[in-house]
Amino acid sequence: MSNLEKLCLYFVGHNKLIVDGNELEKNIINHMTKLKKFIFNIRSIIPFHNQINLLSNEDIQYTFRNFKDSQVISCIDYFPEANACHCHIYSYPYTLTYYNDITNNFPGGLFKCVREVSLFDERPFEHEFFLQIAQSFPFMKNLSLSLNKRGRKRNASGSEETRKRASTSTTTTDE
């Protein structure tokens, strides 16, 4: 694999440490001397238990300081009710056709390839947030929404349902 010139890495890790630029550099990039293009989309979901030193988005971005030829976007969210940290790191421009679990902390951008979007948070979404989503995803066809507030979710009509069903409500736009 050391002769690879292009690598696309899509990874979701649960109950592990956050995969950041230092990890990618040490475990992948340093072993691939001919690598010219590195596209990645990494999600880390880890529990946190009353920790005092929580990583910030700036901390994560700093670990990518040696990625000179890449624009890297990161978004880190802490969900106190779920005792979980969600960290999403990806190379930009974003190449996938879906973008899952966008939160109120979404950094924005233009995502021309994305057709399916899901929103997730413990806090309600505001009107301005939906305007930002519409601008960021001009070719979106499907949108699903999940509010994780004490085990409840909202369906498309706004009424609360218990969270026994695994699926979220989906709105489809015709274009």
For the chain, what is the total number of helices (H) and then of strands (E)?
Answer: 3, 10
User: What is the rounded distance in angstroms from the CA atom of residue 12 to the CA atom of residue 106?
Assistant: 18
Residue 154's pLDDT is 46
Alpha carbons 12 and 168: distance in angstroms, whole number = 20
| Domains of the chain as residue ranges with CATH | 1-92 (3.30.110), 96-175 (no CATH)
CA distance 107 to 76: 10
Q: Which residue has the tokens 């529990």?
A: 47
Q: Structure pTM?
A: 0.80
| Burial group, residue 116, by CB count within 10 angstroms (0-12, 13-18, 19+) | middle
The per-residue pLDDT for 81 is 86
Q: What is the pLDDT of residue 85?
A: 92
Q: What is the pLDDT along the chain (175 residues), one digit of tens a residue?
A: 678 999 999 999 887 778 899 999 999 999 999 999 999 999 999 988 767 678 899 999 999 999 988 899 999 999 988 889 999 999 999 999 999 999 999 999 999 999 999 999 998 999 999 999 999 999 999 999 988 764 444 444 444 443 322 233 334 444 4
